Amino acid sequence: MLVLGIETSDRPGSAALCRDGDCLAEVPLELDGLRHAQALPPVVATLLADHHVTPGSLDLIAVSRGPGSFTGLRVGIAFAKTLAWAVGCKLVAVDTFEAIATETSIDGNTLWVASDAHREQLYVRHFNRQTDGRWQPDGEHSIVPCREWCEARTTDEVVVTATPDLLDRSSKPLEFHIVCDRPRPGAESVTRLGHDACLAGASDNPTTVEPLYLRRSAAEEKRDSSGANS
């Protein structure tokens, strides 16, 4: 199975190409300072061309669906949906926090994934390790107050975060957390999770799949507030 993976939950993001579970390449979405929307198409085109792959030969596109950057997720999902529909391949949207957990090497059997939700808040989700070594979500994503949530953690808990200084905004000494080796999940992890999900029979409809937004964007809230005050 030939799989293209796309990760745009934060900058710079990345794209990866895997065949039958083996990663052929993973490349960052860095192109002369261009944003996701401008960099993603040429980077993917070069990635495919470098491995003598045509878009029509793709069997699956796996894309990170969030939580993460509103704009980045919207761009990545839109690109993946359009390409999957155009070439007729399958599409799987992957939980961004599951991809982060997959890249984490720890000895324990539970962990939290946390990321900056701004406004002194965190996005968090809990995971348990399965007997096969994979991380399984335990509960849904939540938005929590940063300081209160941090101070409620115990020393035997592991928190994986892409923003290491975020968990230091607490009056309590924090000795429980570790930091991801990578600042954000890579497209390779997204690709592998999508590949496994597809083999298990999962797929998403390119016409209906949407990013995972845990709340409205600041622009939407500002617009609604302006409307209410007019």
Q: Over the stretch 62-82, which tens digit does the pLDDT of each residue have?
A: 999 999 888 889 999 999 999
Characterize 154-191 residue by residue with b for buried, 16 or more Cβ atoms within 10 angstroms of its Cβ, and e for exposed. Answer: eeeebbbbbeeebbeebeeeeeebeebeeebbbbbbbb
pTM of the complete model:
0.87
Best mean pLDDT range from 3-12, 52-61, 98-107: 52-61
Contact 66, 31 (CB under 8 A): no
Confidence of residue 221 (pLDDT cuts 50, 70, 90): very low
What pLDDT does residue 150 have? 84
Q: Which residue has the higher pLDDT, 130 or 35?
A: 130
Task: Tell me the average pLDDT across 20-36.
Answer: 80
Please state, in angstroms and rounded to a whole number, the distance separating the CA atoms of residues 92 and 80.
9
Contact 123, 133 (CB under 8 A): no
Structural domains in the chain, CATH included, are 2-95+185-220 (3.30.420.40), 104-179 (3.30.420)
Please state, in angstroms and rounded to a whole number, the distance separating the CA atoms of residues 154 and 156.
6
